[in-house]
Amino acid sequence: MKHYHIAVLPGDGIGPEVTAEAVKVLDAAQKKYGFTLNYESLDAGAERFQRTGVTMPDSQYEICKQADAILMGAIGLPEARHPDGREVNGDVIFRLRFGLDLYAGVRPVTLYEGVTSPLRDVSKGIDYVIVRENVEGLYASRTGGCNVRGEVATDTIIMTRTGVSKITRFAFELAKKRSGRPTDGKSIVTCVDKANVLSSYAFFRSVYDEIAEQYPGVAKDYAYVDAMTLYQVLSPHHYDVVVAENMFADIISDLSSATIGGLGMAPSGDIGDEHALFQPSHGSAPTIAGRNLANPIATILSGSMMLEWLSDRHQDDRLKEAAQGIDQAVRAVLRQQHIRTADIGGTSSTSQVGDAVAAALQSEV
């Protein structure tokens, strides 16, 4: 039986709570589908920084580098900052993204039956994926910006042909695997940019066009980022796969989460050619930490994404079946409507939701 080494970073705030529930569901999947995950829990994050002055030791980074995959809860606390004002969570997530070349931030946007959206009409469905360029764009200059006497501050946006080509190709390959957008099943990749104003984004679009020519079976589409925030509210059913630069994709992915019940329903994967990290899109929510109130669904679904990625990488169909089983178990629990956390209209605890998903997974035929 194949064993998979999983580096687990529970992190800060609610991170350990939601990670525990994801592991609970993954354990149920192991028993049912017959594979083995060997977890190695790491102490990295803002709380460690406050204790020791180091957010992530080199030894832990090396463990992540050697692992088959990384599962993370949430990193960061508002008060844990470097002298220049930056939160220390970047010492973990940016180090892993940039160091392991996790260039594709994959953020599924799915409205599950039984979850209420703040949008008035969702009858046409919401089921698309935002693909975020993770290692270039404006965030690439996060430690190289300039602040002169507290009077002038600059950051530089960085886009390379290699980087834009890789993320665009990833988006089109993903579209080929999906069933298309909800309305008509059309496979389509939307390029979100600001090509009408900034030369860097015009470059992004030009490279997108070059790559798109290699995928005649997938349609092209464009949206300026300001208009995209409008379209995500008025016509989210129009989208299948969306690709964008680092900062723009970061912003529109949070907006997309709001349309499907909030960040507690928003899983994500940071994926490269050799390595991958999976985590919920939400932060550490320290105001509710330790109270068993957080929604673990995003982390559970991130675990499902992890299994699917491992399945593709290692050609292990059991993992893909398990990923599909977890997704179906989540759907079954949400349809019942009586097990849900407060953020999506219920009164259940974090652990009760985890228990329910694990039980639903085990009971599936």
Per-residue pLDDT of the chain (365 residues; tens, 9 = 90+): 689 999 999 999 999 999 999 999 999 999 999 999 999 999 999 999 999 999 999 999 999 999 999 999 999 999 999 988 889 998 999 999 999 999 999 999 999 999 999 999 999 999 999 999 999 999 887 777 788 888 998 889 999 999 999 999 999 999 999 999 999 999 999 999 999 999 999 999 999 999 999 999 999 999 999 999 999 999 999 999 999 999 999 999 999 999 999 999 999 999 999 999 999 999 999 999 999 999 999 999 999 999 999 999 999 999 999 999 999 999 999 998 899 999 999 999 999 999 999 999 999 75
Q: Which runs of consecutive H residues, i.e. helices, occur in the chain?
A: 15-33, 46-52, 58-66, 90-99, 161-177, 199-212, 225-234, 246-258, 297-314, 317-336, 350-363
C-alpha torsion sign, points 280, 68, 76, 241:
negative
Give Dmax over CA atoms of the chain in angstroms.
Answer: 66
Tell me, yes or no, if 226 is annotated catalytic. Answer: yes
Q: Are 42 and 277 in contact (CB under 8 A)?
A: no
The confidence score (pLDDT) of residue 326 equals 98
Question: Residues of 138-157 as b/e, b for ≥16 C-beta within 10 angstroms?
Answer: bbbeeeeeeeeeeeeeeeeb
Q: Active site residue: 12, 193, 250, 270, which one?
A: 250
The confidence score (pLDDT) of residue 142 equals 74
Tell me, yes or no, if 139 is annotated catalytic. Answer: yes
d(CA 284, CA 189): 32
The confidence score (pLDDT) of residue 346 equals 96
The confidence score (pLDDT) of residue 1 equals 64
Q: Active site residue: 226, 273, 312, 317, which one?
A: 226
Q: In the CATH scheme, what is the code of domain 1-105+288-365?
A: 3.40.718.10
Q: Are 296 and 279 in contact (CB under 8 A)?
A: no
Strand, helix or coil for residue 192: strand
Q: Active site residue: 4, 33, 128, 139, which one?
A: 139
CA 257, distance to chain mean position in Å, is 11
Q: Active site residue: 101, 155, 254, 316, which one?
A: 254
Kindly report the pTM of this predicted structure: 0.95
Q: Active site residue: 65, 194, 220, 320, which one?
A: 194
Q: Which amino acid is residue 68, in one-letter code?
A: D
Q: Are 194 and 205 in contact (CB under 8 A)?
A: no
Instruction: Please identify which residue in the block is written with the tokens 């989460």.
Output: 257
Question: Residues of 108-132 as b/e, b for ≥16 C-beta within 10 angstroms?
Answer: bbbbbebbebeeeebeeebbbbbbb
Within this chain, domains 1-105+288-365 and 118-259 share the same CATH topology: yes
Q: What is 118-259's CATH superfamily? A: Isopropylmalate Dehydrogenase (3.40.718.10)
Tell me, yes or no, if 316 is annotated catalytic. Answer: no
Tell me, yes or no, if 194 is annotated catalytic. Answer: yes
d(CA 107, CA 282): 12
Domain boundaries, the chain: 1-105+288-365, 118-259
